[in-house]
Structure 1
Amino acid sequence: MARSQATFGKKENEKKRLKKRTDKAEKKEERQANAQKGQSLEDMLAYVDENGNIVDSPPDPKKKKVINQEDIRITTMKQEDMEQPDVIRKGTVTFFNDSKGYGFIKDQQTQESIFVHANGLINQIKENDKVIFEVAMGQKGPTAVSVKLAEA
């Protein structure tokens, strides 16, 4: 007796395809049955209220806010409009490895740990030294540059 050409997997896939096709046809019939043809444009419109919610009724003209065109900014802020952070900072050296040439400085103002490399040093530093430095963005984040000892 010869075996069936269709394997179990093929039969299951064919059943899934047929079920999907019948489900799609049922959904199409349901949509057509629930479709409301002949609606007016007013019935299809939706409005957004002052809180950002979608509602059926138009907004109340009494709650309308008047905005001057001059108050609307379309451009990005200019460099002089932005608040400039303090360029020169003070901090304490928390760690410095002379042999590897790097360390970390704890910023007094933000209490954040900032990486420092030997190339960014003006004076030689060691742990617990008070220093003055500038911050520049390095490859992996903020880096201290122009690091010099603070006068005591």
Structure 2
Amino acid sequence: MRVSVIGGSTVSAAVYEQAVKVGRLLAERDHTVVCGGLGGVMRGVCEGASGGGGPTVGILPGEEVAAANEFVDIPIATGLGHARNALVVMNGDAVVAIDGGPGTLSELGLAAVYDRPVAGLGTHDVPGVRQVGTAAAAVDHVEAHA
């Protein structure tokens, strides 16, 4: 299954480590990580997935594939800016949201529009987001509901 992981581009060390855990668990359970391909949660989840032997896809806002973080296996340049958020959500069968600001909030709205199950770790408390407390609970939720 492909799982979109969304979240803040600038995060604390604790949030970053949570993203690494989510990525590693997804990889260990044979899932592909899809994200925005840049820093913060996106880099953390890709680092974790890479460490767990899983593939990563980064759907980038700009025109340069070289802008992807070093743990992205398949960078996709879009030139769409924040409009690429729809592509991040649509290319996952489910979504894990970790932390995040307005960009993450837009992706959560798109997840509702496209009927994707969402697990939230310290993210916006909005309808359709199942708030969970651990990386394992997040992965369990998306596996059970995708």
Structure holding more helix per residue: 2
Q: If the length of structure 2 is used for normalisation, what is the TM-score?
A: 0.16
Structure holding more strand per residue: 1
Q: If the length of structure 1 is used for normalisation, what is the TM-score?
A: 0.16
Q: Which structure is higher in RCO with an 8 Å CA cutoff and minimum separation 6?
A: 2
